[in-house]
Amino acid sequence: MAIEKHKWYIDHTSPATAHIYGIDNYVKSYKTDYQQVEIADTGLYGRILFLDGKVQSAETDEYIYHEALVHPAMLMSPAPKRVLVAGGGEGATLREILKHPDLEELVMVDLDQEVVELCKEYLTPWHRGSFDDKRVKLLFMDARKYIEKEQEPFDVIISDIPEPVEEGPALKLFTIQFYETVKKSLNQGGVLALQAGDTSIPFIETFSGLHKTICQVMPLVCPYRAFVPSFNTDWGFILASPDQRKMPEKEEIDNLIKTRNLDLRFFDGITYTGMFNLPKDIRKILSEETTIIDDGNLITIY
């Protein structure tokens, strides 16, 4: 094994730990007005997008993350016609939402236009032309400001924004004030889904804090997770709704996937069952969490 041939990219997960990726080729390194963007080809995970030193998405397994983020919420909505994505720069979240046949309008609001343009050019396997779909409305602005001003409600809102890194652009999209605004922007029966950070015990603070915070706003809050190999951890997600309801059974999920003719690689009824059944230690942490994230008490990761 020719370890010495690689350049090494170090994603610091804490002051004491890191994930290291062997780089074959640096495709792009660019500083936008908001964040550092790096796109690199790796021997194991294919092309990877890094933002502010953190891996965001890898070519070989991005489908796991994006199917896990999108389809539980979309299938909870009876016939989602109008959907909002906060963030979503790579375009893969759009790709998955566009698979649903009743969709009429898909609004994507991303703060960093330069990141989106780089993804359009260099991450074609992610978006597969989704930005050009006639149902997509692409806006470059702060997603919170957009939601606060938008009058027409949505059937589904998906928050696909980077982790809340210190001094990062997304910190106020993880607060109780933001989720209160989201709640008002959902139709009856509407659904929110968000990426919610690492669920491994040493790094679970963001996941548990977000869960506690959203529980103050929504009557239905369902945490779940999926293992993403390029993240080297189980990644957390949260599904929430302003309407209390019964979660579907796995047979219902499979029937909906078949009815909507969804071509999926990762997500089905069995996967759904496993994702939403968290282990005892994580359930205990969630039940004991007291942190409520607000505009005056922001959460950040290292």
Residue 90 located in a structural domain:
yes
Q: Do residue 49 and residue 94 come from a single domain?
A: no
Is position 295 within any domain?
Answer: no
For residue 296, tell me if it sits in a domain: no
**pLDDT by residue (tens digit) across 73-121?**
999 999 999 999 999 999 999 999 999 999 999 999 999 999 999 999 9
Distance CA 177, CA 214 (A): 10
Task: Say how far apart CA 83 and CA 85 lie, in whole Å.
Answer: 7
| Token pair belonging to 89 | 């720069």
Same domain, 177 and 242: yes
- The rounded mean pLDDT for the chain is 93
- Which residue did the predictor score with more confidence, 301 or 10? 10
162 neighbors 51 (Cβ within 8 angstroms): yes
Active-site residues, by number, are 160
The domain that holds 27 is classified in CATH as 2.30.140.10
Indicate whether 49 and 82 sit together in one domain: no
Is the model's pTM score more than 0.85? yes
| Same domain as 76, residue 44 | no
User: Does residue 35 sit in the same domain as residue 74?
Assistant: no
Regarding whether 244 and 159 lie in a shared domain, the answer is yes
In a domain, 301, yes or no: no
Residues 234 and 201 placed together within one structural domain of the fold? yes
Q: What is the pLDDT of residues 115-160, one digit of tens each?
A: 999 999 999 999 999 999 999 999 999 999 999 998 899 999 999 9
**What are the structure tokens assigned to 26, written together?**
């640096």
Average pLDDT over residues 3-7: 66
Domain tally, the chain: 2
Same domain, 48 and 92: no
Position 297 in a domain: no
Tell me which of 21, 38, 55 is where a domain ends: 55
pLDDT value for 201: 93
**113 and 18 inside one domain:** no
Q: Is the pLDDT of residue 296 over 50?
A: yes
Contacts of 124 (CB under 8 A, 6+ apart): none
Q: What is the pLDDT of residues 219-273, one digit of tens each?
A: 999 999 999 999 999 999 999 999 988 899 999 999 999 999 999 999 999 999 9
- Are residues 231 and 260 located together in one domain of the fold? yes
pLDDT digits (tens, 9 = 90+) for 179-209: 999 999 999 999 999 999 999 999 999 999 9
Same structural domain for residues 46 and 165?
no
pLDDT for 13 beyond 90: no
> Residue type at 75?
L
The residue range of the domain holding 220 is: 62-288
Q: Domain boundary residue among 12, 33, 55?
A: 55
pLDDT of the residue at 106: 98
Same domain, 32 and 139: no
CATH at residue 201: 3.40.50.150
pLDDT score, position 1: 47
Q: How far is CA 223 from CA 86, 146, 290, in A?
A: 19, 26, 16
Higher-confidence residue of 91 and 165: namely 91
Residue 104 lies in a domain: yes
Give the strand order in the sheet containing 186-198.
136-139, 105-109, 82-87, 154-160, 186-198, 233-241, 220-228
Q: Per the domain annotation, does 102 fall within a domain?
A: yes
Q: What is the mean pLDDT of residues 6-31?
A: 89
